[in-house]
């Protein structure tokens, strides 16, 4: 896991070497999964959940469980949507495994929502900050993997997010 922290920081800074590492390291998928779960757990705590209440209350434990499932569904679905948009709409290339890794490594940016929430900033600003940073990392990953121009890579990340919102609304599922 310690080996994955360097690529995580590189991905947060949009460095190409992080995406190269993800591309050639199969273990990065497991690391991405861990980042999604840990990020969602920290978000749960940051938005008012407590470890003691979670361990002593069935309702709080259920809330944490559904929060984690929501994060995993988002991670799996969004990566698939990125692949579909990049490959079939913009004629790029790439693999689901790579986009899954890149999305997982981008997911910790959603912790920005906790920071802005704790600073009593508007919730919409918090979601936008986390989502924009997230989509910028995904844009860089799409640009690396599919060799699409930055405009099409950004459109891929944006259209995948719109696709996710539509899927979430249809399934009556949480957004992120």
| Domains of the chain by residue range | 2-171
| The pLDDT of residue 36 | 93
Q: Do 18 and 7 touch, CB atoms closer than 8 A?
A: yes
CA dihedral of 109, 115, 117, 119, whole degrees rounded to 10: -150
All residue ranges of the chain with pLDDT < 50 are none
pLDDT at 1: 63
Phi/psi for 11 (5° steps) reads -65, -40
What is the number of other CB atoms lying within 10 angstroms of the CB of residue 84?
16
Give residue 151's pLDDT.
94
Stated pTM of the model: 0.85
Q: Which tokens go with 57?
A: 């209350």
Tell me if 161 sits within 8 A of 131, measured CB to CB.
yes
């Amino acid at each position: 896991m310690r080996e994955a922290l360097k690529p995580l920081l590189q991905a947060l800074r949009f460095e190409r070497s992080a995406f190269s590492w993800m591309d050639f390291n199969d273990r990065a998928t497991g690391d991405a999964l861990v980042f999604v779960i840990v990020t969602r757990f920290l978000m749960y705590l940051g938005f008012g959940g407590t470890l003691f209440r979670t361990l002593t209350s069935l309702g709080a434990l259920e809330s944490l469980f559904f929060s984690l499932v929501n994060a995993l569904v988002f991670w799996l679905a969004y990566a698939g949507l990125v692949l579909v948009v990049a490959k079939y709409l913009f004629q790029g290339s790439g693999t689901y495994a790579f986009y899954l890794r890149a999305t997982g490594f981008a997911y910790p940016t959603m912790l920005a929502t906790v920071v802005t929430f704790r600073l009593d900033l508007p919730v919409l600003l918090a979601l936008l900050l986390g989502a924009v940073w997230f989509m910028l990392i995904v844009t860089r990953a799409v640009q690396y993997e599919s060799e699409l121009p930055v405009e099409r890579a950004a459109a891929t990340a944006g259209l995948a997010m719109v696709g996710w919102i539509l899927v979430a609304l249809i399934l009556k599922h949480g957004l992120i």
